[in-house]
Chain A
Amino acid sequence: MAHILIIDDESCFTDMLSTMVGDMGHHVTSAYSIEDGMQKASMQPFDIVLLDVQLPDGSGLDLLPKIQALPSSPEVIIITGYGNPDGAELAIKNGAWDYIQKPFSIYTMTLLLVRALQYREAKHSNRMPFLLKRCGIVGNSNKMESCLELLASAAANEANVLIMGETGTGKELFARAIHKNSKRAQNSFIIVDCAALPSTIVESVLFGHEKGVFTGADKHRDGLIKQADGGTLFLDEVGELPLSTQKAFLRVLQERSFRPIGSKMEIKSDFRLVAATNRNLEDMVNTGSFRNDLLFRLRTITIELPPLKEHIEDIKELVFYYIAKLCGRYGNDIKGFSPDFLEALITYDWPGNIRELVHTLERALAIAHDESTLFPKHLPMDIRIKLVRANIEPVEANTSKKQAAGRALFLRMEDFRKNMDKEYLHDLIARVGNNIKEACRLSGLSRSHLYSLLKEYNISKPE
Chain B
Amino acid sequence: MLVIILLFKGVIEDMAFLFYTNSSGKTKKQLQEIIHARMPGEEMEVYRTFDSLSNRLLRPLEGLSVAVLLVSSMEDLSNILTLCNVLWDMRLILILPDRNHETIMKGHQLRPRFLTHADCNPTEVAEVLCNMLKKYTQMRPF
Q: Which residues of A contact B48 (CB under 8 A)?
A: none
| Distance of A174 from chain B, by nearest CB (Å) | 14
Asked if B86 lies at the interface with its beta carbon under 8 angstroms from chain A, I say yes
Check A97 for interface membership: any CB of B closer than 8 A.
no
Total contacts A to B, CB within 8 angstroms? Answer: 83
Interface residue A216 (Cβ < 8 Å from any Cβ of B): yes
CB distance from B83 to the nearest CB of A (A): 10
Contact partner of A227 (CB less than 8 A), chosen from B91, B104, B111, is B104
Q: Which of A26-34, A80-88, A354-362 binds B?
A: A354-362
For A152-173 the 0/1 string (1 means CB < 8 A from B) is 0000000000000001100000
The answer to whether A191 has its CB under 8 Å from any CB of chain B is yes
Q: Tally chain B residues at the interface, Cβ within 8 Å.
A: 34
Stretch at the interface among B28-36, B38-46, B59-67: B59-67
Contacts of A414 in B (CB 8 A): none
Instruction: Assess the B142–A351 pair: CB atoms within 8 A.
Output: yes
Known: A191-B113, A219-B119. A360 touches B60 (CB 8 A): no
Q: Which residues on the B side are within 8 Å of A176 (C-beta)? A: 111
Q: Which residue of B lies closest to A237 (CB)?
A: B135
Q: Which of A343-363 contact B (CB under 8 A)?
A: 351-352, 355-356, 358-360, 362-363
Given contacts A198-B127, A352-B141, whether A193 and B113 have CB atoms under 8 Å apart is yes
Partner of A330, one of B58, B88, B105, B132: B58
CA A380 to CA B115, docked complex, whole Å: 35
A contact residues, range? 35 or more
Q: How far is the CA of A360 from the CA of B63 in the complex (A)?
A: 11
Q: How far is the CA of A359 from the CA of B132 in the complex (A)?
A: 18
Can you list, as one digit per residue, whether each of B90-127 has a CB less than 8 Å from chain A (1) or not (0)?
01000000010000110010011111010111001001
Q: Which residues of B contact A193 (CB under 8 A)?
A: 91, 113-114, 132
Contact of B60 among A227, A330, A351, A383 (CB under 8 A): A330
Contact (Cβ within 8 A) A190 B108: yes
Q: Does B140 contact A (CB under 8 A)?
A: yes
- Bound-state CA distance A243–B142 (Å) is 32
Q: Does A196 contact B (CB under 8 A)?
A: yes
Q: Is the CB of B112 within 8 A of A198?
A: no
Given contacts A222-B99, A356-B141, contact A330 B131 (CB under 8 A): no
Q: A193-B113, A196-B113 are in contact. Are A329 and B128 (CB under 8 A)?
A: no
Q: Within the assembled complex, what's the spacing in Å between the Cα atoms of A382 and B105?
A: 42
Residues of B within 8 A of A191 (CB): 111-113
Cβ of B139 within 8 Å of any chain A Cβ, yes or no, is yes
Residue from the list A167, A218, A328 in contact with B121, Cβ < 8 A: A218
In the complex, whether A73 has a CB less than 8 A from a CB of chain B is: no
Is the pair A331, B142 in contact by a Cβ cutoff of 8 Å?
Answer: no
A366 touches B (CB below 8 Å) = yes
**A196: contacting residue among B60, B128, B142, CB under 8 A:** B128
Contact string, A367-393, partner B, CB cutoff 8 A, digits 1/0? 000000000000010110000000000
* A to B CB contacts below 8 Å, 18 in the list: A168-B139, A176-B111, A189-B108, A191-B113, A193-B113, A196-B128, A196-B132, A196-B135, A197-B128, A198-B128, A216-B124, A218-B121, A329-B85, A351-B142, A355-B140, A356-B141, A360-B142, A365-B60
Residues of chain A touching chain B, judged by Cβ–Cβ distance below 8 Å, are: 136, 167-168, 176, 188-191, 193, 195-198, 201, 205, 216, 218-219, 222, 224, 227, 236, 325, 328-331, 351-352, 355-356, 358-360, 362-363, 365-366, 380, 382-383
Extra pairs beyond A198-B131, A366-B60, A383-B142 (10, CB < 8 Å)? A191-B112, A196-B135, A198-B128, A219-B99, A222-B104, A329-B57, A358-B89, A359-B140, A362-B60, A366-B62
